Amino acid sequence: MRYEHVKDLKAAEFRRLTGVKHETFVMMLCVLEEAEAARKAAQRYRGGKKPKLTLADQLLMTLEYLREYRTQFHISKSYGLEETRCGRIIRHVEDTLMKSRKFTLPGRKALLGDDIEYQVVVIDATETPIERPQKNSTSSTRAKRNATR
């Protein structure tokens, strides 16, 4: 799914799909564009092969990866890329957004303040036992005796 198909969605639908508001998406896209412009200026960009995905598509792909827990194989097939290229794009977008420090969670000291209203989410992550066949000494002993003559 490309960004041009998604950009006209309603605000609630866009957030449901990507996990962020459209305004946040645009802010993230601006950070990526600034980083790309700085990279090109620093390297004295000489051209080369044009990327298959725009920066908006790369950001959307990263948000799909983080939101839906899809494998890079499935995402790469839906975007028409190789799996390794998909992984590189996701890592690059994540690193660029983390370096900007505009999209970070509040620190530990900020969470300890009294003026913050908390929302609690409870997740049931209990482990359930799996039935496995019991080890039986007769079957393993027979196999050992038959193997040695």
35-60 residue pLDDT tens:
988 888 877 666 677 888 999 999 99
Which position has the higher pLDDT, 56 or 114? Answer: 56
- Give the pLDDT confidence score for residue 102 in this predicted structure: 87
- Residue ranges of alpha helices (H) inside the chain are 3-6, 11-18, 22-42, 55-68, 72-79, 83-100, 108-111, 137-147
- Give the pLDDT confidence score for residue 95 in this predicted structure: 92
Mean pLDDT across the stretch 78-85?
92
Answer yes or no: is pLDDT of 62 > 80. yes
Mean pLDDT across the stretch 98-124?
74
Question: How far, in Å, are 57, 70, 95, 100 from residue 32 at the CA level?
Answer: 11, 23, 10, 9
Cα separation, 18 vs 28, whole angstroms = 12
Answer whether 28's CB lies under 8 Å from 97's CB: yes
Does the pTM of the predicted model rise above 0.85?
A: no
Answer yes or no: is pLDDT of 110 > 90. no
Which of 60-69, 112-121, 130-139: highest mean pLDDT? Answer: 60-69
Answer yes or no: is pLDDT of 140 > 60. no
Mean of pLDDT over the chain: 82
- Give the pLDDT confidence score for residue 146 in this predicted structure: 63
Burial of 86 (C-beta count, 10 Å sphere; 0-12/13-18/19+): buried
